[in-house]
Every structure is written in structure tokens, then in C-alpha cells.
Structure 1
Amino acid sequence: MNAQTPHQPTTTPPLVIMTDLDGTLLDHDTYSYAPAIPVMERLKKAGIPLMLNTSKTAAELMSLRNELENSDPYVVENGSALYLPADFLAENSAQNSGDHVHILGAVRSEILTLIQKIRVEEKFLFTGFADMEVAEVIEYTGLSESAARRAMTREFSEPLIWQDSAHQLRKFEALIANHGLRLLRGGRFVHVIGACDKGKCLQWFRNWFASADQRVPRFVALGDSQNDVAMLKTADIAVIVRSSHHEPPDLEQQSAVIITDETGPQGWATALTQILDDEQI
């Protein structure tokens, strides 16, 4: 981890693509990204960064980024931390080893200390990753053993299986908010994270480009669910990728919004192809 402020890339791209993974770039059921490969190659050839912005951990992203040959910045654990790989940065910062990590959320150890304390005090019923063995995470997520172990290497958030009433969940949410934490409702879990979201990370990158006194690229964001809304609202062009499992999220904003006809990576690829064609890239 490098604590210094990173330098900007040597050249500013015309667009930056920021995308959710599950149900967006990755098929909801098969996790395949095959339909998106030609578009990803087109982005790479044009020098347009493809930034992954996901609820996954850095460990989970490592193998996927290797598969995708993706060396662009990425965001983990629902906007909690962003990583800037050394080879993305300007040449004069290349001597810095590894990724520069910028934390926008909370550290997991602090999250665990608080939620375990109020669970005892208020008798809340929930089970977090910290309470589970690998076999239980596999049971809840359907992941393989190696994937489950990577999912458990959380640094900035704690997923919970909520086993109490809706009233108690609202009370829990209010209590953690008093300590600067927030609750994010996902498909299978509720996630306790810091005062961050996927949109704040997109804005951080926009400010980062602006601080170089260069032209700020336009940001295209793609997502499929409610926890992508902050990112979609912050983008210049928002793409809601249709899901076969739920309705598109509500998005009230003024910038351009595209809702795909196709689901998952096929919808992702079609929408980005149209945007790149329109931009003549």
C-alpha cells in the first residue's frame, strides 16, 4: 500500500467506463462475461479505462482482473476502497511498488467491534461472515471453497444474514448510523460499511483527473441493481443493465440514462457499443 498521493495517468482518456460486476458485466447465473469480450478489447485498444466497481473483495477481484488482463483502477466492497495499480499511473510514480489504496469507508475491525457490541446489548439476531466457517459461506453463497475463502477476506465491510424482524433491522441501522456506518441491502446479505458508496468513488476519480488541470473525461457507469444507483447518478452517462431476476432500479436524474433490452453482459456489450459508436471511438 502506498500512502502518497498518486500522479495522474500521462494521458487523459475521452471516456472512463465504471462497471458493476454480478448481473452486469458478469451473467447473474453463470458469471460468464463472454459477450463483452469484443467490447473490452475495443476499450483497451482505444486506451479507455475499464474500472470495476463491485461489492467483491480485492482478493476476489485478483483472479478476474488477471483473466480480463485489466490493469485499470478498481473499487471494492461497495465503494469502501479504491485501488490504483502502479502501471496505470504516470511514469514518474512507477517506482512505487504495488497498488495505491485510498480508503473511503471504514476498516472491518472497527465495524466488527461495534456490531458485536450492540448485538449483545440489544439482543439482535444476525450472523455475519466473521461468525461463519467456510462451509457456511459456501452454503449461503453457492461459491466454491476457494471463492468462498476469497469472499471472506473482507477488509472494509461485513455481510450479515439478518435473522431478526424488519423493525429490529431499522433500529440496528439507526444505531450504527450514530457511529458513522451505514447499511446496504443486497440480494442475499445486508452489508455494514462506512459512510461511502459506489458514487463517491466515481466522484473521487473525476476530482483526481481534474486535479491534474487536464480535461476531465466523461464517465459512463453500468449497473443493474439498487446499490448501483449512487454510481449511476454520479455518471455522465448511466446504463441500467436489465436483469432477469429483478426490475431495473429507480433512477431519477438529469444526465443521460440508457436501459438495455438485453440482460447481463449481452446488454452491457450492446449499450457500450452504441456509446462508443456515437462517440466515434
Structure 2
Amino acid sequence: MNRPIRIGVQMQPQHADYKRIRMAVVEAEETGVDMIFNWDHFFPLSGDAEGLHFECWTMLGSWAEITSRAEIGALVTCNSYRNPDLLADMARTVDHMSDGRLILGIGAGWFQRDYDEYGFEFGTPGSRLADLADALPRIRARWRKLNPLPTRNIPILIGGGGERKTLRMVAEHADIWHSFSDVNALVRKSRILADHCADVDRDRTRIERSVAVPAIGTTAPGEFAAPLVEAGATMFTLGVSGPDYDLSAVRRWVAWRDQYNAATAG
């Protein structure tokens, strides 16, 4: 399956008041990004650990109303924080609020402070992955029972790179696989994902490869992306933090996307 390049931005909801976050989301959509994500944490992950911060899914309800074109979602929802059937209903609701633009990004969770301060059991990496494996079919089953149904087959994005368990879940459930891989890891893990897809009789080309774009200084988007595109990545997401939400790098990536897609169209 030939896919166009897509560009996302993760608006990290830290160190800014909500008015500034809202303005930044509107500005991001105006730059032409394909997706606007937040994250599912309760405290900042960088800078002042006690700094300003806002909750993920309440925010997505707002974003559904203030945007009109870009897809929205969490990169990623922590499975541990909500009952899976409730999460399915929340996702269905934001799907309707956004006229079918929600991506359900989900992962097993990792940030222990969130768990400890909000009273969730942290468990082990294995127990959190097992909980995610149990939750994914429950989410899909609940979507089939809700009235009204979701407006579309809500895309599921799974974040993570665990080769035995996480990639198996990607093969079984995901429309998008999000990783922090360099090109060598992406090639290796894509082969493993292909093996999992074969085991579950899933067409591996149906799963979009998504890569996080780190702080890369002055590196041109094309220079950074070329080997990853060659390895199968078609979705690139930049993280932008408050309080400033500087979108200059995002604009460069959107411009590169447009040039690349125009050059490879047809």
C-alpha cells in the first residue's frame, strides 16, 4: 500500500495555561499538520516537575470543537488510567464531537509518578502489557454496542517497541504503529511485526509506521526522514512544549511533506 507522508505535532500540555494551549492548537492546524496529539500524563515530563499541566481527554473534547480538519488524539493514552469500556465510550464521544477525526492512541503506561499520586497500581511492565492486551478487544467490543456507533472505524495507534508482546498487539489490533526507532531498529522491528502479522493472518501493509521526530537542531526534514521513509515510515510527529509552543520546525516538516508528496504522487 502506497501511503502519503503525514506530519503530526504533539502539543505537550505542560508549562502553559489553557488559553495558550488552545491558541497553539489552532495555530498548529493552520500550519497544515495532519494530526494534533497531546499526551496522557498528570504532571510535566520535562522542566519544572510541579509546573502547569492539564488532563488529556478533557482537553481532546475541547480540541474536537476548536479544530475542523486535523485528526486529534493522545500520543498515547495510558491504558491503566481508565476502565476500557469507559475509554471506548469516551473515544466514541470525541469521535462524534470531531466529526470522525479521532485517533485512539494507546499504550501500556510507564510513568510511575502518575500511578503513585493518582492511586493506580503500577505493577510491572509485564502486568501492564497484559492489561493492555485484555483491554484492546474490550474496547472494540464496546464500540460495537454503543448507540450511536462511532462515525467510522476509529483508528487505533499503539505506541511501543517491545518485540514479543507489544508488536503482537500491533499486529492484532493497530492501524498505526508508533515507535521511537532509528532506521536500523525500525527495519528490524518491522520484520518482526511482519512475522506477527503472518501469524494472525493480517496484511502488514495495513499498518502505518509512525516515528517520533526528536529535537534535531538544524537537520533538514528530508535528510532526517529519507532513510526512515525507505524503511517504511510515513508518519512523523514532532513534540512541542509550552509555554512557547514554537512551531517553526513543524512548518518546515509540513513544507517538506508537501514537496515529497507532490513529487511522488501517482
The TM-score bracket by the shorter chain reads 0.3 to 0.5
TM-score by length of 1: 0.34
TM-score by length of 2: 0.36
Compare CA radii of gyration and give the structure with the larger one: 1
